[in-house]
Amino acid sequence: MPDVTIVAPVFDEAGAAPDLAREIAAAFQGRDFEILFVDDASRDDTVARLKALKAELPQLRVLRHARNSGQSRAVRTGVLHARSPLIVTLDGDGQNDPADAPRLVDRLAAGPPALAMVAGQRRTRQDSAAKRFGSRFANGVRKRLLKDAADDTGCGLKAFRRDAFLRLPYFDHIHRFLPALMLREGYEVAFEPVNHRPRTTGASKYTNLGRLWASLSDLLGVMWLNTRARLPGDVAEL
């Protein structure tokens, strides 16, 4: 059983995925790890290129959805198939820097038992001004209403405990609400500044308007969930 599974969701990322897999393997060299790429029914040759890489990278596993079902579902598929207790996720387009990932895992492993997640916060966003503006606005509203202390929930680089993640409710686009939902279960969440790189291949899958619309209804949903949490405190077996 590996110590850590690195999960990367990919949708039409043939240009970025192979190099990213190599970078992940280099970052975790000397550790006991597996890499899980989850292809969300890509229309390009992402899967063929990843499969060809398996001879070079024995730690690489490739899963494929029969139907496109979104980034959050791909992350969940990866977590469900992971063989390790600790997970790190990162975007499949190469914008997150794999060199940051071991630091997040180490901080999670060294933390108190209640620490379930270390979430990356992108230091300098390498995206368009419009995307940065939309993201700052959405993050500001969400943080104020949910009090989840997260300045950047859109950062794909996150380390968390597999068991904690699987206790969370699931909905499409849940990846933006992971800190709030971890806190809702009584876990602690820590934040770690991480690098961010420009997208050099492929195209972004999200538009500002689409993201705003989904985030608004999800925000209302998570606010409702928070009114229904009721934690029992320590559970004693007698």
Instruction: Based on the shown chain and the rule CB under 5 A, indicate whether residue 93 belongs to the binding site for Mg ion.
Output: yes
The two structure tokens encoding residue 36: 């899980």
Which of Mg ion, ligand GDP, none interacts with 71 (beta carbon under 5 to 8 A by kind)?
Answer: ligand GDP
Residue 85 φ/ψ, nearest 5 degrees: -80, -20
Degrees, nearest 5: CA angle 56-200-33: 35
**Tokens, residue 24:** 């992940």
Listed residue (161, 148, 120) closest to 218, CA to CA: 148
| Nearest-approach distance from CB 111 to ligand GDP, in angstroms | 26
Q: Closest separation between CB of residue 210 and Mg ion, Å?
A: 14
Q: Measured from the CB atom, is 68 or 226 closer to ligand GDP?
A: 68
Using CB under 6 A, pick the residue from 91, 100, 148, 152 that binds ligand GDP. 91
By CB under 6 A, residue 9 contacts ligand GDP: yes
Q: How far apart are CB 199 and Mg ion at their closest, in Å?
A: 5
Contact between 152 and Mg ion per CB under 5 A: no
Candidates 25-33, 100-108, 139-147, 203-211: pick the segment binding ligand GDP (CB under 6 A): 203-211
| Separation of alpha carbons 89 and 38, rounded Å | 11
When the beta carbons of 18 and 70 are compared against ligand GDP, the nearer one is 70
Write down the H helix ranges in the chain: 17-27, 46-53, 71-81, 101-110, 129-146, 162-166, 178-184, 208-227
Encoded amino acid at 8, one letter: A
- Residue 13 touches which of ligand GDP, Mg ion, none (Cβ within 5-8 Å per kind): ligand GDP
DSSP class per residue in 61-114: EEEE-SS---HHHHHHHHHHH--SSEEEE--TTS-B-GGGHHHHHHHHHHS-TT
Q: Is 95 in the site for Mg ion (CB under 5 A)?
A: yes
> Between 59 and 95, whose beta carbon lies closer to ligand GDP?
95
Burial annotation 140-175 (CB, 10 A radius, 16+ → b, else e):
eebbeebebebebbbbbbbbbbbebbeebeebebbb
Interface residue with ligand GDP, options 15, 70, 134, 179 (CB under 6 A)? 70
Give the x/- contact pattern for ligand GDP in 96-125, rule: CB under 6 A. ------------------------------
Minimum CB–partner distance for residue 5 and ligand GDP (Å): 16
**Is residue 12 at the binding interface for Mg ion, with CB under 5 A as the rule?**
no
Which residues in this chain contact Mg ion in the complex, by CB under 5 A? Answer: 93, 95
Which residues in this chain contact ligand GDP in the complex, by CB under 6 A? Answer: 9-11, 13, 38, 40, 68, 70-71, 74, 91-93, 95, 156, 204-206
